[in-house]
Amino acid sequence: MTSKPILITGATGKTGSRVLARLTAAGHDARSGSRTAQPPFNWDDPDTWQKALSGIWAVYVNYHPDYAFPGAIENLTRFTHVAASCGVQRLVILTGRGEHHAQLGEKVIANSGLDHTIIRSAWFAQNFSEGSLWEPVMEGVVPMPGGDLEEPIIDIDDLADVIVTALTGTGHSGQTYECTGPRLLGFAEVADILSGAMGRRVDYLPISFDDFHAALEATSGTVFADIVTEIARETFDGRNAKIGDGVMRAIGRAPRDFTEFAQAAATAGKWAKAA
């Protein structure tokens, strides 16, 4: 398997960087699919696809920015045609649970004619330690809409293990893995767990979807805010308040608990205050 090249799209992101590191450490011919790679890969520039896909056996498909953005499904469809023409054999796609547009993306991959695995992910634990919620957490709050919503938050390291297994192993063709953490957590409980790990108080701050939109709009613009808020309204309605068995099915072990993630992140200095 080490002689079969694997392209990691989104190789500089949260999941892609972990997948690339694991594959490289295991001796696989793993290649970075990013705008800065050589050759470059850019989801917004189809002219970069063929050269990046040339000679590639498998691809980790991590579409950016999201399947809900205008033209995303058409773009993904074109990508699968280019991949097939370049001789790609296997596609492993990451999607979000309960998202209509993500499911449309899954159908594109399933209809590509290529060996494929679909990985549906719950909310990332790392959103609190290296993502959009890092700064609010450092300020002592977890500002989220959804009220008493519960989510089976997943450690991205578990997700990366599943993705690597699907890219390199056997028996995953045609599988859909619902990947979640081991239990449902409300954001108030998340804040309590973060407080214990960090050694200082973090409180859950319930906000409205309008406030959520306004905060996004201030930092990322109206189009981004509109789409992400709509995804939040869609998925923060309780539909994802259930445990998936994808991690166990794919790699044969239970997913890590959020408490374990938080303690490890604190030990690694993810929330260390600057001197």
Model confidence pLDDT, tens digit, residues 83-119: 999 999 999 999 999 999 999 999 999 999 999 999 9
Give domain status of residue 274, yes or no: no
Give domain status of residue 18, yes or no: yes
Q: What is the CATH number of the domain that holds 231?
A: 3.40.50.720
The kind and range of the H/E element at 203 are strand 203-206
**b/e per residue, 98-111, with b = 16+ CB within 10 A?**
bbebbebbbebbee
Give domain status of residue 275, yes or no: no
Residue 56 corresponds to which tokens in the numbers above?
């590639």
Residues of the chain with pLDDT under 70: 1-2, 274-275
The pLDDT score that the predictor gives to residue 274 is 55
Give domain status of residue 1, yes or no: no
Sign of CA dihedral 198, 246, 76, 9: positive
Give domain status of residue 273, yes or no: no
The pLDDT score that the predictor gives to residue 275 is 40
Give domain status of residue 28, yes or no: yes
State percent of the chain over pLDDT 70. 99
How many domains is the chain built from? Answer: 1
CA distance 256 to 65: 27
The pLDDT score that the predictor gives to residue 273 is 79
What domain range includes position 163?
6-267
Give domain status of residue 180, yes or no: yes
CA distance 254 to 195: 25
